Amino acid sequence: MMNDSEQQIVNLIAAKPTIIVSEICKSTGLTPAVVNRMLISLRQRDIITRVGAKKNGHWEVVSNNQE
């Protein structure tokens, strides 16, 4: 189950797959440490995945359900 902040991050990624952490921080008001922790959690739960290299890759939403 995703909390509101995690759902907001998933929605941002769905809208802009090339989004970077600093843009997520500006949109959500969260700190970079919190955003990175949530991204790791979302990746571990197979909700999002990173495709390509760190610099020129993009995010993909694998599962957007809130189970």
Which pLDDT score is estimated for 66? 57
Residue 66 Cα distances to 2, 48, 62, angstroms: 6, 13, 12
By the 8 A CB rule, do 7 and 66 touch? yes
State yes or no: pLDDT of 67 exceeds 70: no
* Sequence spans of domains, the chain: 4-61
**CATH topology (fold) of 4-61:** Arc Repressor Mutant, subunit A (1.10.10)
Gap between the terminal Cα atoms of the chain: 5
- List, for residues 15-33, the tens digit of each pLDDT value: 999 999 999 999 999 999 9
d(CA 19, CA 9): 10
Confidence (pLDDT) at 28: 95
**3-state SS, residue 62:** coil
Beta bridge partners of 60: 49
Q: Which of the four pLDDT bands, split at 50, 70 and 90, describes residue 65?
A: low
